[in-house]
């Protein structure tokens, strides 16, 4: 997978992305609002929004109301069960995102590493507070900032 215009602040269990010279704290205020699979283009989109607050992204320069991660040329997508004992609100709270080895012989938590070389193959593991996981592998992924509503995107 190639991250086109962002990176994780840490390769494992990060909750912050860096893109466009801005920080994007995906845990504290950002709410995960969905994953859309588009089979006609073999792509997927994950979307987050933040409330109208002074510093929702943990970066006072970041004024965007949301962001999308757009995955192109999907290779693998897995969504696991959630913990039914936890409230549904925990489904929208990202606990962390990690680069994980693309081999699928063991659970994602055992496939993380502290160091990644630029040519290492990886996929992304999104772990939510509800204990639901989304593991996704694609050729590329791009962060796209959102303006005042989730459907209105900012021109790149």
Secondary structure letter of residue 28 according to DSSP: T
Using CA atoms, how far residue 3 sits from 27, 47, 141, in Å, is 20, 16, 5
Say which residue, 155 or 39, is predicted with more confidence: 39
Q: What pLDDT is stored for residue 148 in this prediction?
A: 61
Asked if pLDDT for residue 112 goes beyond 80, the answer is no
Say which range, 67-71, 84-88, 117-121, 146-150, has the weakest mean pLDDT.
Answer: 146-150
Question: What is the mean pLDDT of the segment spanning 30-57?
Answer: 94
* pTM (2 d.p.): 0.87
Question: What is the mean pLDDT of the segment spanning 135-156?
Answer: 76
Asked if pLDDT for residue 5 goes beyond 80, the answer is yes
> What whole-number percentage of the chain has pLDDT above 90?
65
Secondary structure letter of residue 84 according to DSSP: T
Give the confidence band of 110 by pLDDT, cuts at 50, 70, 90: low
Say which residue, 131 or 114, is predicted with more confidence: 131
Interatomic CA distance for residues 43 and 51, integer angstroms: 27
Say which residue, 41 or 105, is predicted with more confidence: 41
Interatomic CA distance for residues 2 and 99, integer angstroms: 11
């Amino acid at each position: 997978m190639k991250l086109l215009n962002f990176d994780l602040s840490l390769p494992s269990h990060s909750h912050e992305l860096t893109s466009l010279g801005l920080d994007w704290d995906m845990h504290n205020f950002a709410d995960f609002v969905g994953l859309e699979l588009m089979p006609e283009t073999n792509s997927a989109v994950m979307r987050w929004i933040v409330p109208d607050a002074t510093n929702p992204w943990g970066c006072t320069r970041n004024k965007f109301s949301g962001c999308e991660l757009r995955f192109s040329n999907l290779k693998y997508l897995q969504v696991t069960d959630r913990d039914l004992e936890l409230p549904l609100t925990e489904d929208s709270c990202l606990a962390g995102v990690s680069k994980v080895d693309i081999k699928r012989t063991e659970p994602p938590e055992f496939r993380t590493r502290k160091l990644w070389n630029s040519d290492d193959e990886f996929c992304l593991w999104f772990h939510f507070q509800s204990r639901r996981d989304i593991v996704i592998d694609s050729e590329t992924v791009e962060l796209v900032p959102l303006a005042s509503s989730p459907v209105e995107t900012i021109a790149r």
